[in-house]
Amino acid sequence: MRLLLIEDEPDLLSGLTRALRRAGYSVDTAEDGEDGLFKALEIDYDAIVLDVMLPRMDGWAVLTKLREKKSTPVMMLTARDATKDRVRGFDSGADDYLVKPFELDELLARLRALIRRSAGKSTPALVLGEVKIDTASRTVTRVGEPVSLTSREYAVLEYLALHRGRLVTRTTLYEHLYDDSGDTLSNMMDVLIYNLRTKLGRDLITTRRGHGYCIP
């Protein structure tokens, strides 16, 4: 699952990005409304977390312009708890509304529910031969039998599946799935790919030495 987080508070942006990636999401970020709107229109995200108070373009304006072209699920974040503000958010096209400060577990639960509801309007399954990925429930089966994956294994598999037929570089996986880089993470990626091949078949993921990975 790929998310866009639009938030201008550096500490909150950094903390939420780490938490969402630990939960297995691929996360892109933007620190102002204009950059956030550009990314939201250019890329098909599974959900967007949008702060109301932003520089260059506030969250209301971002949401209004986004809804002219896309129906991507949007959760709005704000410190304003007035009923009129919540009503304005929903009337503008927000799918959920969370007031700061909030508990991380609540944010994650609301995001899961938001994505499930959205997936119910389309086909949430990715089929790769005998492997099926249910993106709504975040489960994987092989020949109809459930396969147990760690959150990181699932995140790598889903990201590669969403970009099927395209080469995904190690750098891209690092940037979208994790916060660290270097030899330790490189070794970790090798282990994750090995585990996925062991559980789902050696031919599912191909490696292009020195470049990255691909699901044909």
Q: For the domain that residue 178 is a member of, what is the CATH number? A: 1.10.10.10
- Alpha carbon separation from 98 to 17, 62, 73, 103, 115 (Å, rounded): 17, 17, 14, 10, 15
- Which pLDDT score is estimated for 179? 52
pLDDT at 176: 64
pTM over 0.85: no
Share of the chain above pLDDT 90, in %: 46
- Among 119, 153, 184, the domain boundary falls at 119
Amino acid at 69: K
Residues 105 and 23 in one domain: yes
Q: Are residues 80 and 9 in the same domain?
A: yes
Report the pLDDT value the prediction gives residue 181, as an integer from 0 to 100. 46
Residues 78 and 14 in one domain: yes
Q: Please identify every stretch of the chain with a pLDDT value under 50, giving residue numbers as ranges.
A: 180-183
Buried b or exposed e, range 53-85, using 16+ CB within 10 angstroms: bbeebbbbebbeebeeeeebbbbbbbeeeeeeb
Among the three residues 76, 94, 119, which one is the final residue of a domain in this structure? 119
Rounded to the nearest 10 degrees, the angle between the axes of helix 83-92 and helix 59-67 is 30
**What pLDDT shows up at residue 89?**
76
Does 105 lie in the same domain as 193? no
Domain shared by 115 and 132, yes or no: no
Q: For the chain, what is the domain count?
A: 2
pLDDT of amino acid 88: 78
**Do 131 and 114 fall into the same domain?**
no
Same domain assignment for residues 135 and 205: yes
Residues 8 and 29 grouped into a single domain = yes
Q: Which structural domain, as residue segments, surrounds residue 8?
A: 2-119
Q: Which CATH number is 107's domain given?
A: 3.40.50.2300
